[in-house]
Structure 1
Amino acid sequence: MIVIDQPTPGAEAAEAPVLSKHWSDDESWLLQNYVRQHGYQGLKAALAMTPDDVIELVKASGLRGRGGAGFPVGLKWSFIPQGEASAKPHYLVVNADESEPGTCKDMPLMLASPHMLVEGVIIAAYAIRASHAFIYVRGEVASVIRRLRGAVAEAYEAGLLGRNIFGSGFSLDLVVHAGAGAYICGEETALLDSLEGRRGQPRLRPPFPATAGLYASPTVVNNVESIASVPSILRNGVDWFRSMGTEKSPGFTLYSLSGHVTRPGQYEAPLGVTLRELLDRAGGIRAGHELKFWTPGGSSTPMFTAEHLDVPLDYEGVGAAGSMLGTKAVQLFDETTCVVRAVLRWTEFYKHESCGKCTPCREGTYWLVQILQRIENGDATEADLDLLTDTTDTVVGKSFCALGDGSGSPITSSLQYFRDEYVAHLDGRGCPFDPALSTVFHEGVH
């Protein structure tokens, strides 16, 4: 028998890992072990409050969405209409369709700590007065789906899901949905279409999901890490959460380091940490090499160079330096990597994953690949660099959703920092880099 009713613990150490603290524990995914880690105490605290008070607490914490945009979580919850304006049912949808190149934080979190997400779902659903919630997971990650469904089954058996949770009168049903695996379904309205059984394509907004989302009803869509961060805030309080990070980007988060780094992996740290500090923990760039360029938030964010090692990795710091924090997918490339080849690979991905709904993205990403391929092969001239810029301009800002904007980020930023390298490919010279020297693309980090 699992006893949930235990004394509420004191605040955790402010600098200690929170999301990843127990990932290495034996069978950390089991309910009995999560309860020993003070699991579901945040839910107990939430159910002792009114839903509106829970929303205000999360707003006061300053928690920002960890899925890329960084929009305040509590503010997003508050957009759900209440009272007489709330005749329709409310829904909570967790976006677990993690497919941005370089992003790999949500999957290990769900594997190691699924109950942390489940607890966060129950709290969030209570706050927005939803009686049904969904976790939309990429269909390819069967092991994650099994782990989540096992955790949900345990929660039902323990009375943490279903009717009258903790005797509070609040009821919630939670479904783990295996998606079709398209990158575009990471866009929240395309995800909702897919969840309803239609082809995943972005919707025209307005109306926004807060008023007409899933089944044309008020809906909140949040990222996995955003929801998983909520229980610790309810458990430890606003001041505890705000003691980490920065004033405008408070709290902790997961940074995914991949590529030419000695110890790639997930590194949990307060927002505002620098890449230099993260590299100290990760053993630095692989032996005998030096950093050339890197992405702060996945391939859809403008790239940085070694000159940006001390940029604070929070939403304001990265934005001021000319990029976006995004999903904190830090891809690192050393001097053996051809920038043109890297950008070509990323652009091929966006071409393949374009849903085809709008002409700028559908046609533009195709032609971007053609131009980049000519440059990489040495079949281009200086005029093709101007054509590359012009074609990028026809996609960025003109597409139906952010996929088009993201596809242009690596192109414009690489031309800004490495135009000479593009020029070195022109007029029959081709790529000056030996692909055998760079292990990144051979090891599947893309």
Structure 2
Amino acid sequence: MNQIDRLIIFTRFPVSGRAKTRLIPTLGADGAADLQRRMTEYTLKQALAVGIQVEVRFTGGSVEQMQQWLGDRPTYIDQGEGDLGVRMNRAVQEHFEQGARRVVIIGCDCPENRSDTIARAFELLENEPCVIGPAHDGGYYLIGLNHPQPDLFREIEWGTAQVLEQTLAASSRQIKLLPTLADVDEAEDLPLKISVIIPALNEKAHVGRVISEVLEGFNVECLVADGGSDDGTRELAQTAGAVVCHSSPGRARQMNAGAEQASGDILLFLHADSRLPKEWDTQVRRTLMHPKVSLGAFRFAVDKNSMGFNLITWGTNLRSRWFKRPYGDQGLFLKRDLFKRIGRFADVPIMEDVALVRKARREGKVVTLNQPLITSARRWKKHGLFKTTLYNQYVLLAASTGVDPVELNQAYRQGRNPLPLIFKRLKARGVRSEE
């Protein structure tokens, strides 16, 4: 970005009883102020990631209070007198008079507005006179200009559902629109909290990266359910910002233990060697907003590109999307109350994800997102592409024929062919049928 571009955040100092007042009946005065604080901090984090100088225009506090709260990286200016339009126009005019080439203003009520969207606004302003990010409630979360347009801020009914419509009507020039996003003004706008649960056993090499990606989301928590690591996994996870909970080893037990401590409305179960897509939290919430959806998962992808892996990826996504059978390495997510209602993960040593998906399908639709969750190819690399893929299919067949999970897990861990177990099970079925 050019050094004479300017990014301005409009916010207020979070004083209890004065911040997010429409949410006080739902959250209480302190809760509404805390939400204002968290949304502002998150917005600032996204703004700073764009890579240009950020200015915070504030109300309800002092420069010293703002610096103590948000740090020294932004500059701080009081918004001054007048309605919102007067204050925004004043900010824009001042920067253009100082030689700014592109000026973008964002609010703090839209956690879905991420750094990529802000950067896109600056890119569009190379050729477009005005860029606006519409909000679902009829307002906007972003406005950007490459020259002054004071009419855009006059005679607008601020705080109403007519803001965007009136702004578009006031412009004599074309306005480029960004994606429509949700902002947070009313109780029904509050983003559900997501608890991400990562079962881990000696995953120090991978867990720090995935925790960092989890914590890029808004209103999320990360829980690492450790099964007895001795390689520093727990210490690294705590340092990275995760809550570490302890469990006896076994993926199902560990994930159930993490879910028991989770405080979120949504649970996402994630492998330690996974790589989340950008804006994963927004996609998870949007998916589970649909009342007929019971469970979601991401599209399968592997961190290695070859003809063999591409074929595996194609087959896995075909199974997931068309047959509604995603597996745990795709990141399974569902609402916590449904997870409890269907009995959590079965306490079995293997194929616990298959059982959970099967139960969720009885409750509603199972959806696979277009966004990929990248998983490590380390197991294929260790045991061989063909052998691992064939073995996985044997395990699935064994599970479907009713092979005892304990025996199946022993064969799986020891790398033994499960076909004898399948034949044994089918033979036992045949004997019972004859009887």
User: So what's the TM-score if we normalise by structure 1?
Assistant: 0.30
**Structure with greater strand percent:** 2
User: So what's the TM-score if we normalise by structure 2?
Assistant: 0.31
Q: Which has the higher contact order (CA 8 A, sep 6+)?
A: 1
